[in-house]
Structure 1
Amino acid sequence: MFVRTVYATGDPTKIDTALRALNTAGRDLLMERPGYRGASVFVDRELGKLLSASWWSSAADRHNSDEVMSLRRAELLGPFAGTVTVDNYEVAAFHVFQHPRAGGGLRVTGLEFDPADTDLLADVFRTSLLPRLDTLRGIAGASLFVDRERGRARSGLLFVDRESLAASRAVMAAVRHEGVAKAHATVTGLEEFEVVYADVRAD
């Protein structure tokens, strides 16, 4: 599968306006596009950050959908968004432990690496990280998005509640340190969000 992410920052007091638009008109627009596989929206209400992801069967489906979405994006995110960044990724790994819940938590790790090490990073994620998540309290899902050309990736861990997200920080810090060393990657960012909704059809 393939993913398009939209990362927006703006006035925290106006973030609910953008969420209402994304949850109604935004979802309707996406569902009308061929190859649509689901969408997720996450927020940091305190700082005023919004992260959304739409999932697609193919890179072509994703590209074709953006011809429509790019025209409507400013309308959907306004008047909240002051900055908007759009990125495209390949889904290198995706595993669901249980269905995520609204109000749960997401931790996103930004990564950079030599593009030649893309498959190494994906292998480390699948063989070293995923098996260690089974016993992690409240884990709902794990994913790895990669940009093979630019050598950039985002890994995400979903939790059913914010308490489980917080409780995992120390354990996952050690796992992250070990994983990036094996994958020859560098951590470029670490953020946490509240789950607004997460609905992806992996089959």
Structure 2
Amino acid sequence: MFVRTVYATGDPARLGTALGALNTRGHDLLEERPGYRGAGVFVDRDLGKLLTVSWWESAAARRNSDEVMSARRPELLQPFAGTVAVENFEAVVLHAGRRPLSGGGLRTSRLEFEPADADLAADTFHAGVLPLLEVLPGFAGAALFLDRDRGRGMTGVLFADRASLTASRARQAAIRHAGTAKAHVTVVALEEFEIVHADVRED
């Protein structure tokens, strides 16, 4: 599948307004778009960070949704958002796992790599990293997104609750260290979020 991520930062005190709009009007807009396969909403309430991920059955479906969503996005995110960054990726690995409850945790890693190493990154995550993540207490799902042309990507690992997210930090750090070395990728950012909503329909 294919994904679009929206990363917004702003005043933490105004984050609730954006969440309300995304979970009502934003959700309805996405559901109306052909090829839509689910979405996730993740927040850092202390710093004022918002990450949304929408899933699409094809690159064409994602592209066809861009006109409507790009036009409506500013009103959905205001007055919270001071900065907004939109990126498109291919979801090369997806393990939906068990659905995390609202209030669970997401840990993301931003990656950079040589475009020629995209397949190596995907194979390493699928065969070497994912099996180690699956046995972490509280594991609730994982995905790898790649932009092959730009040599950029993102991993996301979901945990059923915040305690599991916190407890996994050391073990996932060791997994990340070994995996990035084998895959020839560089981690350029590491973040954690609260899960507001997360749902993807694989079939």
SS at match of 2:198: strand
Q: Distance in 1 between matches of 2:165 and 2:53?
A: 20
Q: Distance in 2 between matches of 1:89 and 1:149?
A: 10
The structural deviation recorded for 1:160 is 0.4
Q: Is the 8 A contact 2:133 2:172 kept in 1?
A: no
Partner of 1:170: 170
The one-letter amino acid paired with 1:16 is G
Q: Distance in 1 between matches of 2:48 and 2:126?
A: 32
The one-letter amino acid paired with 2:23 is N
Deviation track 1:175-195 (CA, whole Å, cap 9, x = no partner) reads: 101000000010000000000
Q: Are 1:47 and 2:47 matched, yes or no?
A: yes
SS at match of 1:25: helix
Q: Distance in 2 between matches of 1:193 and 1:55?
A: 19
The structural deviation recorded for 1:106 is 0.1
Deviation track 1:47-92 (CA, whole Å, cap 9, x = no partner) reads: 0000000000000100110110000000000000000000000001
How many percent of aligned residue pairs carry the same amino acid?
Answer: 67
Partner of 1:84: 84
- Note the 1:127-142 alignment, pairs <5 A: 127-142=127-142
The structural deviation recorded for 1:101 is 1.2
SS at match of 1:133: helix
The structural deviation recorded for 1:16 is 0.4
The structural deviation recorded for 1:130 is 1.1
Q: Distance in 1 between matches of 2:36 and 2:197?
A: 16
The structural deviation recorded for 1:146 is 0.2
Q: Are 1:181 and 2:187 matched, yes or no?
A: no
The one-letter amino acid paired with 2:45 is R
The structural deviation recorded for 1:135 is 1.9
Q: Are 1:26 and 2:51 matched, yes or no?
A: no
Q: Distance in 2 between matches of 1:161 and 1:168?
A: 11
The structural deviation recorded for 1:134 is 2.7
Dislocated runs of 4+, deviation >3 Å = none
Give 5+ residue unaligned stretches, structure 1: none
Deviation track 1:11-43 (CA, whole Å, cap 9, x = no partner) reads: 000000000000000000000000000000000
Q: Distance in 1 between matches of 2:65 and 2:134?
A: 35
Partner of 2:99: 99
- Note the 1:116-155 alignment, pairs <5 A: 116-155=116-155
Matched pairs, number? 203
Q: TM-score, normalised by structure 1?
A: 0.99
Q: Distance in 1 between matches of 2:160 and 2:52?
A: 18
Q: Distance in 2 between matches of 1:103 and 1:133?
A: 20
The structural deviation recorded for 1:100 is 1.3
Q: Distance in 2 between matches of 1:164 and 1:97?
A: 15
Q: Distance in 2 between matches of 1:60 and 1:107?
A: 28
Q: Is the 8 A contact 2:107 2:190 kept in 1?
A: yes
Q: TM-score, normalised by structure 2?
A: 0.99
What is the RMSD computed on CA atoms of the aligned residues?
0.5
Partner of 1:156: 156
The one-letter amino acid paired with 1:69 is M
